[in-house]
């Protein structure tokens, strides 16, 4: 696969409207579309699209599921490993892959955009430790469809990178690495007292911090919501002891619980060479109108619908 460093391939130059961007990735084409290839016959009649969003590039939609995932790669500094990572993402249909520990240093660029095969790898820089070894680094591997939907990328810290994608509502994805200089300091393990279906039988100290974070911000760990066999729950295997742990999570706001169709870990990225497994979630927008409580009618009985 051919790789090359490129400028920002998503956003148009200053002063250029997104609908006129050169790659055609911004704004709907004339006539409107349901998705990337099916014309919308209702648009010609002046009616809105039936998936509740006029944005043809929207990722989170009612009719079309998409797959997002998270993966601690250990390193993709070598070109062969980076190409293999992109190949695995394309082969498995992953639209957005949050990557941790890429270990690529580009301190002269806050955000780097790199085209790898059919994907775009967006990264904030890794850093060098006291021994001058490359450490850390977070990024997003996005498909062509996700690249077209991308609105903004923001590096909050060298461990947190967020991106906004077109949609109604806007879809925000964050790639987060360990939040301490001590390796494994945020290796949170959740037990059944804090999540429905976990690999571990109890919550460790860092898991308590994670559980508090979930409660405070009304989040859910998507890969603990579904009853899976134990072999589908662990995300990390220690190479020295072969012990398995569940350390990687996809966090989703509680209000979008109905949009999560499935979430579990897979071994399909083993060829990249990490001791972590990829954790993937399949999502589709679910809009539920909350039921309004009906008060009693004149006779004291619940009033009927008009």
CA 182 to chain centre: 25
Into how many domains does the chain fold?
1
Residue 194 · residue 203 · CB < 8 Å:
yes
Tokens in use for 166? 């077109």
Which has the minimum average pLDDT: 59-63, 93-97, 135-139, 227-231? 59-63
pLDDT at residue 126, as a whole number: 96
Which has the minimum average pLDDT: 74-78, 152-156, 182-186? 182-186
Rounded CA separation 20/177 (Å): 36
DSSP class per residue in 183-237:
TTTT-----TTTSSS-SSSS--HHHHHHHHHHHHTTEEEGGGSS---GGGT--EE
Inside any domain, residue 289? no
Tokens in use for 18? 């997104």
Inside any domain, residue 237? yes
pLDDT at 297 over 90: no
pLDDT at residue 9, as a whole number: 43
Torsions phi, psi for 249 (to 5 deg) = -140, 150
Q: What is the pLDDT of residues 191-249, one digit of tens each?
A: 999 999 999 999 999 999 999 999 999 999 999 999 999 999 999 999 999 999 999 99
Q: What is the pLDDT of residues 44-55, one digit of tens each?
A: 443 334 444 455
pLDDT bucket at 59, cuts 50 / 70 / 90: confident
Inside any domain, residue 290? no
Inside any domain, residue 223? yes
pLDDT at residue 167, as a whole number: 85
Inside any domain, residue 128? yes
pLDDT at residue 169, as a whole number: 83
Q: What is the pLDDT of residues 108-156, one digit of tens each?
A: 999 999 999 999 999 999 999 999 999 999 999 999 999 999 999 999 9
What is the pLDDT averaged over residues 58-87? 93
Tokens in use for 26? 């911004």
Inside any domain, residue 179? yes
pLDDT at residue 110, as a whole number: 93
Residue 226 · residue 256 · CB < 8 Å:
no
DSSP-derived pairing of the beta strands 66-72 and 94-100? parallel
pLDDT at residue 303, as a whole number: 53
pLDDT at residue 58, as a whole number: 81
Inside any domain, residue 300? no
Provide the residue range defining the domain that includes 169.
66-283
Inside any domain, residue 145? yes
Bond before 302 cis per omega within 30 degrees: no
Rounded CA separation 162/13 (Å): 21
- Report the CATH number that the domain containing residue 208 is assigned in CATH: 3.60.10.10
Rounded CA separation 148/145 (Å): 5
What is the pLDDT averaged over residues 23-34? 36
Angle 236-238-242 from CA coordinates, rounded to 5°: 110
Rounded CA separation 190/210 (Å): 8
What is the pLDDT averaged over residues 290-300? 58
pLDDT at residue 256, as a whole number: 93
Return the DSSP state at 294.
P
pLDDT at residue 47, as a whole number: 37
What is the pLDDT averaged over residues 273-294? 82
């Amino acid at each position: 696969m051919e790789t090359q460093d490129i400028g920002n391939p998503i956003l148009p130059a200053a002063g250029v409207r997104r609908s006129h961007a050169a790659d055609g990735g911004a704004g709907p084409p004339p006539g409107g579309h349901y998705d990337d290839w099916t014309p919308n016959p209702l648009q010609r009649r002046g009616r809105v699209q039936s998936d509740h969003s006029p944005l043809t590039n929207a990722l989170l939609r009612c009719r079309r599921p998409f797959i997002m995932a998270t993966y601690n790669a250990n390193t993709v500094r070598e070109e062969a490993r980076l190409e293999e990572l992109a190949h695995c993402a394309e082969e498995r249909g992953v639209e957005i892959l949050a990557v941790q520990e890429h270990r690529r240093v580009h301190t002269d660029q806050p955000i780097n955009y790199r085209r790898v095969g059919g994907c775009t790898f967006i990264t904030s820089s890794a850093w060098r430790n006291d021994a001058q070894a490359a450490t850390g680094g977070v990024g997003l591997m996005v498909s062509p469809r996700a690249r077209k939907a991308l609105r903004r990328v923001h590096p909050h810290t060298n461990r947190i990178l967020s991106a906004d994608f077109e949609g109604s509502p806007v879809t925000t994805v964050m790639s987060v690495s360990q939040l301490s200089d001590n390796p494994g300091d945020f290796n949170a393990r959740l037990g059944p007292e804090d999540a429905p279906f976990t690999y571990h039988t109890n919550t460790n100290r860092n898991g308590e911090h994670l559980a508090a974070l979930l409660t405070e911000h009304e989040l859910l760990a998507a890969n603990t919501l579904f009853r899976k066999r134990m072999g589908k729950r662990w995300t990390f295997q220690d190479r020295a002891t072969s012990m398995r742990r569940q350390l990687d999570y996809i966090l989703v706001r509680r209000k979008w619980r109905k949009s999560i169709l499935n979430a579990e870990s897979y071994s399909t990225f083993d060829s990249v060479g990490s001791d972590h497994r990829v954790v993937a979630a399949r999502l589709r927008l679910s809009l539920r109108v909350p039921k309004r409580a009906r008060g009693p009618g004149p006779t004291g009985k619940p009033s009927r619908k008009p």
